[in-house]
Amino acid sequence: MRFTTVMADPSLLELPWEVPLEQWPVDHLVTLPRGISRHVVRFVRIDNDVYAVKEIAEQVAGREYELLRTLERLDAPAVEAVGVVSDRTTPDGEPLEAALVTKHLRFSLPYRALFSRTLRPDTLNRLLDALAVLLVRLHLHGFFWGDCSLSNTLFRRDAGAFAAYLVDAETGVLRPRLSPGQRAEDLELARVNIFGETLDLEAGGYLHPSIDPYQVCDEVVTRYERLWHELTHEQVVERGSRHELEHRMRRLNELGFDVAELAVSLVDGGERYVVRPKVVDAGHHSRRLLRLTGLDAEENQARRLLNDLDAFRVAHQLSESDEEIVAHRWLTRAFEPVVAAIPADLRGKLEPAELYHQLLDHRWYLSEAAGRDVGTAAALESYLRTVLAHRPDESAVLDPPDEGADPVP
């Protein structure tokens, strides 16, 4: 056996690699919601970490491992590659397929686990938005997915929306940049895959009657093209109309993208500018929150927490203080006390940033009903009792595995 890895837990070597994955004993496995896969996939827990193990041909496993490692270096939204186990054999010397090991993305769910009975239109819209953003981000890096689908994506809750992560890169190709034809081909593959997935949901009675599978797959393309245009199109700006350029930058920031460089050309004898974002990257708000507080959050969560930080600044009359000082006070006086107040048995329900966002929503609704600000303490007590206690545990792993387990809403 040969294990190619980067600083993995040595306990991974103790797993029964000489046994076909589908025959691994129950005591090594944990159950998590998972999407459809053409390969055998199992989840294992070692100490506090959970890993996904996929049995696959050695050449394909090695290639996917390298692609995932490269995407990680590019800060692209994808699962973290841990290693490849190759040259596997049974005790009788029979060869076994290689295994790709990735780290499970905490609090993430496959799309099938995001509904209990019927996939509602608003939930589907948020999934499609997240998938369109994911595909745009990958294409900006020059990554051709080749098998974009809901099944090959993991979703994490992000302040009322979802953030999407690539989970299967075996058909991917990384190039310096993608041509319009390559992007169009990837979009068409995504459209066909998503059409099939929504037909499958419809056949199983999980699709809301108002949802048309034909419109769903076309909507993904429409959302992608709208976002791609906003990020890359050339804009003609009259000289002296600086506010138009600032408005373009603001729209990009609101979409979660930051402009690293602008290409500006003078036309019409210098009377007008042609402006095009030259380098764009995602995560404007999450990077700012990380810089100010050290909190690693999804983009919408970060935007919501930064808004609360700004409200904290106003409420405590700190407008003249340095931003870093205000952020530290908000972190120690607002965010951390809420997280510390969550009972131990409820801490696996949601990640802290999502929990804090939901608490802010809950406080707003309670205050609207009461006609006054009810305060954080009262809102937290109500949220823990009426909302959080009844949510499924999204970080939990359950033993033994059950292929027919109910999906997590």
Peptide bond into 400 cis (omega under 30): yes
pLDDT band at 78 (very low <50, low <70, confident <90, very high): very high
Residues 6+ apart with CB under 8 A from 138: 71, 76, 77, 145, 166
Instruction: Kindly compute the dihedral angle of the four CA atoms of residues 38, 17, 8, 401, in this order, to the nearest 10 degrees.
Output: 60
Angle (deg, nearest 10), helices 352-370 and 376-386: 110
Residue 259 and residue 249 in contact, taking contact as beta carbons nearer than 8 Å: yes
Residue 285 has phi, psi (to 5 degrees) of -75, -40
State yes or no: pLDDT of 125 exceeds 90. Answer: no
pLDDT digits (tens, 9 = 90+) for 294-337: 888 888 888 889 888 888 887 787 766 678 888 989 999 999 99
What is the pLDDT of the chain when averaged over all its residues? 82
As given in the structure block, the two tokens for residue 100 are 């790709």
pLDDT for 242 equals 56
**Of the listed ranges 39-53, 93-107, 109-123, 134-148, the one predicted with least confidence:** 109-123
Q: Is 347 left (phi over 0), alpha (psi -120 to 50) or beta?
A: alpha
pLDDT digits (tens, 9 = 90+) for 258-277: 665 556 666 666 566 676 66
Task: Give the angle subtended at the CA of 397 by the CAs of 56 and 357, to the nearest 5°.
Answer: 110
Strands 143-144 and 161-166: unpaired
Identify any residues that bridge with 262 across adjacent strands, giving them in sequence order: 277
Residue 138 DSSP one-character state: H
pTM above 0.75, yes or no: no
Higher pLDDT, residue 338 or 390: 338
pLDDT for 59 equals 93
CB < 8 Å & 24+ apart, contacts of 331-334 = 331/293, 331/294, 331/295, 334/308, 334/376
| Mean of pLDDT values over 8-36 | 82
